[in-house]
Chain A
């Protein structure tokens, strides 16, 4: 498995990202199971978007894949046929989770800092990343002095610095205003190429802009809709006709009530 971050474009390129297979997942209260014999495969090296309203279980699924949630979970989650190991996944939450007492640079380097593997090479790479996304003047600043968009940008860089083949994102841009969200979606789509990304969102536009494969999550116990494959390469613009009609379809599926 090899990963590279391009120094000039800051792109993360993953050559052999795994596919995530979820088999016979069962979880929830006995009378109202959230997941019942749920199986699903996340395609390798692609952006898969799970679309669904709040509380439908998408964050829970993400946390089961990251390993944060194991209690009461039955079933099997594997990365390319192997059980989940350390060092494979990176996590990006809705909150930027920047530590307020560390500078922006130190926050971006958080992973290596915590693992005790920080070295000069890391610092160099982080500085280059920060420069590339326009935060070059704020590397020593405290998170408190940054805008929401800048903070989430830094959080994105922190995620990239992990250089992991699987990236799990839990509604990473939903707390931002529309314009900033757009910019960050573009940035994310541009910087991450080749990793297996599972992004959870409630915004159909977001899925259409940056996802390769879109599923709608609904009902309880959870079932997935058929896959939607938007044409073109992300980041996509919404003025293409196919995109617009797919939006209508997604919306229809989202609001559809169980018959």
Chain B
């Protein structure tokens, strides 16, 4: 994890933020200066962290369930041509419908607790994960498949030993997108019906004109998303241990 570089970028962004505030004289109830946001973070730290924890659980659960669903769907489509014709349209629809439109429905069905937010996160990552993994499974190096065929390998062995490992890099790229996008699902879910979480907190702060607190929550959410992404990236790189940075195609 390039921590020093990350630190520099963060400081840079904060500086740009402060400069924008100075130059444009934008009022604090629209864009508060970094100092008041930092103060808000410190003043309301424990409360904010509590809400952050809830949102984190929603995101992690959504990622886990969504990955299982997505990878499973991709495998299903690979194994059975028939299911592909049924799953593919559902996949595309899940991507096309704006989650904002589905959120109230989910909340009505699943209630105001964690499950509706988790469902939102799952919905938002379903397409990226499935599409990426399926693509990877489909485009296995044909010469490997030919070799396996001459070796009289049964289809399940080809899937397990060749197609799946070969498709892991594709799955990984889908998962990277998923970690970046899952927080959106959780937060939108909170906006529509909840009693806790950073999205819920932001709504409250906005309504009470406590814009510095809203931005504090936003900063925390961004930090969380970043950390999540880096952890996922590091984990994926260890999982796919055979890939090196420069590698383009299979030799």
Contacts and interface: CB of A to CB of B under 8 A. Distances in A.
Interface of A: 63, 66-68, 86-87, 89-91, 93, 95-97, 99-101, 110-111, 113-116, 142-144, 148, 151, 162, 168
B238 to A, nearest CB: 13
A114 B165 CA distance: 14
Contact of A86 (B152, B166, B242, B250): B152
A114 B153 contact: yes
A35 B166 CA distance: 35
B244 A101 contact: no
B147 A115 contact: no
Contact of A114 (B141, B158, B250): B158
Which 5 pairs of residues, A with B, have the shortest CB-CB distance?
A114-B153, A91-B150, A100-B242, A101-B242, A111-B151
Contacts, number: 68
Interface in B209-251: 241-244, 247, 250-251
| From B143, B250, B251, residue with most partner A Cβ within 10 Å | B251
A14 to B, nearest CB: 17
B242 A110 contact: no
Given A114-B153, A115-B157, A96 B148 contact: no
B46 to A, nearest CB: 45
A151 B251 CA distance: 10
Given A97-B144, A99-B165, A101-B165, A144 B242 contact: yes
A91 B146 contact: yes
B151 A162 contact: yes
A147 to B, nearest CB: 11
B78 to A, nearest CB: 17
A93 B242 CA distance: 22
Nearest to B153: A114
B148 A114 contact: yes
A95 B153 CA distance: 19
B157 A116 contact: yes
Contacts of B165: 99, 101
Contacts of B243: 100
Contacts of A110: 147, 151
B149 interface: yes
B151 A115 contact: yes
Given A142-B242, A151-B251, A99 B144 contact: yes
Contacts of B166: 99
A75 B176 CA distance: 51
A93 B161 contact: no
B251 A95 contact: yes
